[in-house]
């Protein structure tokens, strides 16, 4: 396999990227896991109150409550980041679009809007009640954006998808604001959630979302081969005996589960799903069997690092992880627009 890898990678590289030498798979895996572990430890130690390392294992250390709070936050960050990274990789594979991301294509906005509707009109309050709404909203938004962008002769180009997603996000956020204005109490609790944050949420929040994250991840990882076939184009995939519509639905379901749960847990965080798959493809190549698991790990690391940096970058206040993600993601987005501009 190692002898074949370089030629295959060179053949399947996107135009413009050019063939390049990649690290062997074990090395990439080791680096990613090391980065992830480092990010986790940093997230426990760094913050407004610095914690010495020994507080992590010493029982009864005076700073143990701080560590406990940061541990909950870190685990939530890992879960949300993994879901967003995976959802982004799935969307980019499914739409064959380098600019796809659950935030940019309006899926997160759909989930947010559905949750606010549930909160303000039906008085829902628990995470278990929010999740179905978040899924419904995410699914509706995804279908709407894809349908509108697919109309017209040229089909769903990256440009039309991104613009349609931005339009839907803008409109939905107006409706969301309108609903929130009618209900001040809800608005106050939405203040940080709406920006995207993983701080101050307990394990119970994560636990109610965990089954859906697990289901989405399972679907996604079994769908890696489907994505590889779909990447060849619909005609070829059908010629290879795939039922492309069913395959698409499987992947779309995984995206809705992952992006919907991540939004319900941590608010609409954009750009993580955009940045991570691009970095990962540079590391391990275009095979989805590798891109998907690596995107999970890298997404988790990115969210935790962004959250940690956000705690200390502009004291005394914290910068929410959603804002940090935008700070990292926008330059990457602009670079992608510049690079893909000629090809499209």
Tell me which residues touch other proteins (CB under 8 A).
99, 104, 148-149, 151-154, 157, 159-160, 162-164, 166-168, 170-175, 177-178, 181-182, 184, 187-188, 191-192, 195, 270-271, 317-320, 322-323, 326-327, 330, 333-334, 337-338, 341, 344
**Cβ-proximal residues to 296 (8 Å cutoff; 6+ apart), any chain:** 82, 85, 86, 217
Least distance to other proteins from the beta carbon of 92, Å? 15
Query: Residue 21 or residue 342: which is nearer to other proteins going by CB?
Result: 342
Decide whether 19 or 155 has the Cβ nearer to other proteins: 155
Give the shortest CB-206-to-other proteins separation in angstroms.
23
CB-based burial, 148-157: b 16+ in 10 Å, e otherwise: bbeeeeeebb
Nearer to other proteins, 20 or 191 (CB): 191
Q: To 5 degrees, how large is the angle CA 210–CA 216–CA 218?
A: 100
Q: 56: which DSSP letter?
A: G
Give the residue from 204, 189, 205, 203 showing the smallest Cα distance to 69. Answer: 203
Pick 122 or 175: Cβ nearer other proteins: 175
For other proteins, give the closer residue by CB, 19 or 178.
178
Count of C-beta atoms within a 10 Å radius of residue 315: 9
Q: Provide, rounded to whole angstroms, the least separation between the CB of residue 220 and other proteins.
A: 25
Q: What is the nearest approach in angstroms of other proteins to the Cβ of residue 197?
A: 9
Q: Which residues in 250-266 are b (16+ Cβ under 10 Å) and which e?
A: bbbbbbbbbbbbbbbbb
Nearer to other proteins, 15 or 341 (CB): 341
Q: How far is the CB of 199 from other proteins (least distance, A)?
A: 11
Which is nearer to other proteins, 156 or 206 (by Cβ)? 156
Complete DSSP assignment for 31-54: HHHHHHHHHHHHHHH-SSS---GG
CB of 113 to other proteins, least distance (A): 11
| Helical H segments across the chain, by residue range | 5-12, 25-45, 64-95, 107-122, 127-150, 158-181, 184-193, 203-222, 224-230, 234-239, 244-266, 272-284, 288-312, 321-340
Least distance CB 172 / other proteins (angstroms): 8
CA–CA dist 228, 281 (Å, integer):
13
């Amino acid at each position: 396999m190692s002898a074949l890898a370089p030629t295959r990678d060179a053949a399947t590289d996107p135009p413009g990227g050019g063939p390049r030498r990649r690290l062997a798979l074990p090395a990439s895996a080791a680096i990613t896991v090391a980065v992830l572990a480092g990010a986790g430890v940093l997230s426990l130690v760094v913050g407004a109150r610095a914690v010495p390392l020994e507080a992590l294992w010493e029982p009864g250390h005076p700073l143990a409550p701080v560590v406990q709070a940061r541990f909950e936050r870190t685990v939530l960050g890992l879960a949300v980041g993994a879901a967003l990274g995976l959802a982004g990789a799935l969307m980019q594979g499914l739409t064959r679009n380098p600019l796809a991301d659950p935030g940019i294509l309006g899926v997160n906005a759909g989930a947010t809007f559905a949750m606010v509707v549930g909160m303000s009109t039906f008085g829902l309050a628990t995470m278990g009640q929010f999740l179905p709404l978040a899924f419904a909203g995410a699914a509706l938004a995804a279908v709407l954006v894809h349908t509108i962008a697919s109309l017209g002769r040229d089909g769903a180009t990256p440009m039309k998808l991104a613009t349609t997603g931005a339009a839907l996000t803008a409109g939905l956020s107006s409706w969301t604001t309108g609903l929130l204005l009618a209900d001040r109490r809800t608005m106050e609790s939405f203040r940080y959630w709406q920006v995207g944050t993983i701080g101050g949420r307990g394990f119970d929040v994560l636990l109610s979302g965990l089954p859906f994250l697990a289901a989405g991840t399972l679907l996604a990882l079994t769908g890696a081969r489907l994505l590889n076939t779909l990447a060849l184009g619909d005609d070829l995939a059908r010629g290879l005996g795939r039922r492309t519509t069913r395959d698409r639905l499987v992947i779309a379901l995984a995206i809705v589960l992952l992006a919907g749960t991540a939004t319900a847990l941590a608010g609409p965080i954009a750009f993580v799903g955009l940045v991570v798959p691009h970095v990962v493809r540079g590391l391990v190549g275009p095979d989805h069997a590798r891109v998907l698991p690596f995107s999970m790990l890298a997404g988790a690391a990115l969210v935790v690092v962004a959250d940690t940096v956000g705690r200390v970058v502009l004291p005394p206040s914290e910068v929410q992880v959603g804002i940090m993600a935008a700070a990292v993601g926008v330059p990457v987005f602009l670079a992608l627009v510049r690079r893909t501009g000629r090809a499209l």
